């Protein structure tokens, strides 16, 4: 199996751990660096990830990946959506639980957008989704971000109650990565 090294533009060590776990079975290893990353403000995660990847590619000129994800809560009209990272830093999952107090419709989904950038190929976009609900209270200590309050459809545990390999099998990030890995495999078969 070939070994491909890709730079992952992130300062989030939880995200880097998930990507390295995902990449292991495909022969892909990620090195995380926090930048260069410029995030534009947009309602479209595809635009955010693609722009960040394009900026990083002009500086680094090496294969790299940027992933942007968002939690979209139906009863909050999709909030926090593309602003999930910022909202998490400001109010955390505790703030989301306060906003959801007494709300019956707790449906939500996570969306992941991966932008892979390469000097010869350009930028390719891959997406993944997972539907679920917002828990009544935070549960679990694994994962990161909103993981303690998100219960994926068909499960009774939150992402934060799952080991990384379990979460990767069903998560938005895992699905987007599998789309990327399938494209990579089909594009570079010998």
Range of the domain at 18: 4-187
First to last CA, the chain: 12
What CATH number did the domain enclosing 160 receive? 3.90.950.10
Catalytic residue positions, numbered = 68
Residue 189's pLDDT is 56
Cβ atoms < 10 Å from Cβ of 106 = 16
For 60-96, the pLDDT digits (tens) are 999 999 999 999 999 999 999 999 999 999 999 999 9
For 36-51, the pLDDT digits (tens) are 777 788 899 999 999 9
What are the backbone angles phi and psi of residue 174, rounded to the nearest 5°?
-60, -40
Q: Helix, strand or coil for residue 5?
A: strand
Q: pTM of the prediction? A: 0.91
Burial of residue 111, with CB atoms counted within 10 A of its CB: 0-12 exposed, 13-18 middle, 19 or more buried: buried
| Number of domains making up the chain | 1
For 94-104, the pLDDT digits (tens) are 999 999 999 99
Q: By C-alpha distance, which of 51, 82, 65 is closest to 9?
A: 65
Burial of residue 92, with CB atoms counted within 10 A of its CB: 0-12 exposed, 13-18 middle, 19 or more buried: middle
For 100-158, the pLDDT digits (tens) are 999 999 999 999 999 999 999 999 999 999 999 999 999 999 989 999 999 999 999 99
């Amino acid at each position: 199996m070939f070994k491909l090294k890709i730079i992952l533009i992130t300062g989030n060590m939880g995200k880097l751990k998930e990507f390295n776990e995902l990449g292991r079975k495909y022969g892909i290893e990620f090195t995380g660096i926090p930048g260069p990353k410029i995030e534009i403000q947009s309602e479209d995660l595809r635009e955010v990830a693609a722009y960040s990847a394009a900026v990083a590619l002009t500086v680094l000129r090496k294969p790299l990946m940027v992933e942007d994800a968002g939690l979209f809560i139906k009863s909050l009209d999709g909030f926090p959506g593309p602003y999930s990272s910022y909202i998490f830093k400001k109010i955390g999952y505790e703030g989301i639980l306060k906003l959801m107090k007494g709300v019956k419709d707790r449906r939500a989904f996570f969306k992941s957008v991966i932008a892979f950038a390469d000097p010869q190929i350009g930028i390719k976009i891959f997406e993944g989704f997972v539907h679920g609900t917002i828990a009544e209270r935070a549960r679990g200590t694994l994962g990161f971000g909103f993981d303690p309050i998100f219960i994926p459809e068909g499960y009774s545990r939150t992402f934060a109650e799952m080991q990384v390999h379990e979460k990767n099998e069903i998560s938005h990030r895992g699905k987007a990565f599998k789309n990327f890995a399938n494209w990579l495999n089909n594009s570079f078969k010998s």
